[in-house]
């Protein structure tokens, strides 16, 4: 063992660091989708929103040199996508899943189209917090160089967990999500609640995109997302609509994703495709173990079209 590398300790460190680095987009998209799905709508198109958010955040940052303005721009564009989805889906017989898929196509197309001029220029990155000053090991310092958005995402998960149970808005969301008729009887407007829930959810998903383009990997091009938006929507079901669950699922997914490169870096080089499939295999196995035919819908909003 030479002093420059950290050998097999690199694998757990990479999983830890990878969990933090890679998970943030999953956290934001899955929290956003949780809000939307709790209201009884599903927005499968967040992949498009994520990519459009990545593009708009990068573009605004290039133009203004302020990454936080970029994040705000992403939130605004995300909200617009959400409003469109929410408005269209309030009409009878419109299928929210199908609209989501179409919106994904539209979002990707528009992002690629408008994003062309921003592929070449470099943009300043979002700041991160150095928490590893206590360690003399540069690898640990690098792993503990954590972006602000990660902490915002983590706090948001805790806040949403609390808010769903203890606030009026949380209660409203759940009532609307569990029964349209009950909500109407209580004098709530399910369409309005769902419209806002989709807009907020979409806006959060776009922040996930901003993290991709403004921090990690920190660049804008057409291959910036490899399906994170779609996968994060799936993680919501995995997490059973629980915000803390979303946060943990995102960490698990990010950490497992770091396994493949980390193992290769310590010389475990055979069959890397199979290591790269680890996050998906792991998620599937956990799903199979934790599901059961009798309580498959535990935690699921009652009117959600995906779980009927």
Which 32-51 positions form the footprint of other proteins (CB under 8 A)?
44, 48
Q: Does 116 bind other proteins (CB under 8 A)?
A: yes
CB of 35 to other proteins, least distance (A): 18
Q: Does 63 bind other proteins (CB under 8 A)?
A: no
- Here's the x/- map for other proteins, 205-244, by CB under 8 A: it reads as -------x---xxxx-xxxxxxxx-xx--xx-xx------
Positive or negative torsion for Cα 35, 37, 43, 47? positive
Among 95, 135, 189, 192, binds other proteins (CB under 8 A): 95
Q: Does 202 bind other proteins (CB under 8 A)?
A: no
Pick the stretch among 15-23, 72-80, 159-167, 190-198 that binds other proteins (CB under 8 A).
15-23
Among 17, 144, 199, 303, binds other proteins (CB under 8 A): 17
The residue (of 55 and 75) whose beta carbon lies closer to other proteins is 55
Q: DSSP string spanning the chain?
A: --SSS-GGGHHHHHHHHHHHHHHHHHHHHHHHHHHHHHTT---TTHHHHHHHHHHHHHHHHHHHS-HHHHHHHHHHHHHHHHHHHHHHHTSTT--HHHHHHHHHHHHHHHHHHHHGGGSSS--PPPPEEE--TT-S-HHHHHHTEEEHHHHHHHHHHHHHHHHHHHSHHHHHHHHHHH-HHHHHHTT--HHHHHHHHHHHHHHHHHHHHHHHHHTSS----TTS-SSHHHHHHHHHHHTTT-HHHHHHHHHHHHHHHHHHHHHHHTT--TTHHHHHTHHHHHHHHHHHHH--SSSTTTT--TT-TT--
CB of 84 to other proteins, least distance (A): 8
CB of 166 to other proteins, least distance (A): 28
CB of 171 to other proteins, least distance (A): 26
First and final C-alpha spacing in the chain? 56
Q: Does 283 bind other proteins (CB under 8 A)?
A: yes
Among 19, 20, 22, 71, binds other proteins (CB under 8 A): 22
- Here's the x/- map for other proteins, 258-277, by CB under 8 A: it reads as x-xxx-xxxx-xxxxxx-xx
Q: 36 and 246 in contact (C-beta within 8 Å)?
A: no
Q: Does 246 bind other proteins (CB under 8 A)?
A: no
Residues 66-85 that bind other proteins (CB under 8 A): 84
CB of 175 to other proteins, least distance (A): 23
The residue (of 66 and 291) whose beta carbon lies closer to other proteins is 291
The residue (of 186 and 284) whose beta carbon lies closer to other proteins is 284
Pick the stretch among 3-11, 30-38, 70-78, 190-198 that binds other proteins (CB under 8 A).
3-11
* Burial classification of residue 66, based on how many CB atoms lie within 10 Å of its CB (0-12 exposed, 13-18 middle, 19 or more buried): middle
Q: Does 130 bind other proteins (CB under 8 A)?
A: no
The residue (of 179 and 307) whose beta carbon lies closer to other proteins is 307
Among 83, 106, 132, 148, binds other proteins (CB under 8 A): 106
């Amino acid at each position: 063992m030479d002093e420059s590398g950290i050998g097999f300790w690199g694998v757990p460190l990479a999983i830890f660091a990878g969990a933090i680095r890679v998970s943030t987009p999953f956290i934001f998209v899955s929290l956003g989708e949780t809000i939307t799905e709790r209201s009884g709508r599903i927005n499968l198109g967040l992949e498009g929103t994520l990519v459009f958010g990545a593009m708009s955040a990068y573009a605004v940052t290039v133009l203004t040199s302020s990454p936080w303005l970029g994040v705000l721009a992403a939130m605004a564009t995300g909200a617009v996508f959400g409003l469109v989805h929410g408005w269209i889906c309030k009409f009878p017989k419109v299928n929210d899943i199908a609209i989501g898929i179409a919106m994904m196509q539209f979002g990707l197309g528009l992002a690629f189209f408008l994003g062309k001029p921003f592929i070449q220029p470099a943009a300043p990155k979002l700041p991160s917090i150095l928490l590893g000053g206590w360690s003399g090991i540069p690898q640990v310092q690098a792993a503990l160089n954590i972006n602000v958005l990660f902490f915002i995402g983590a706090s948001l998960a805790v806040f949403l967990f609390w808010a769903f149970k203890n606030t009026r808005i949380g209660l409203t969301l759940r009532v609307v999500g569990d029964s349209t008729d009950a909500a109407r009887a209580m004098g709530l407007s399910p369409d309005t609640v769902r419209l806002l829930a989709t807009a907020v959810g979409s806006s959060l998903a776009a922040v996930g995109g901003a993290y991709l383009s403004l921090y990690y990997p920190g660049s804008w091009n057409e291959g910036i997302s490899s399906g994170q938006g779609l996968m994060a929507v799936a993680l919501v079901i995995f997490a059973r609509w629980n915000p803390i669950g979303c946060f943990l699922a995102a960490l698990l997914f990010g950490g497992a994703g770091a396994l493949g490169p980390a193992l290769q870096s310590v010389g475990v080089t055979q069959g890397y495709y199979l290591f790269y499939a680890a996050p998906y295999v792991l998620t599937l196995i956990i799903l199979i173990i934790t599901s059961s035919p009798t309580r498959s819908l535990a935690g699921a909003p009652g009117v959600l079209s995906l779980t009927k």
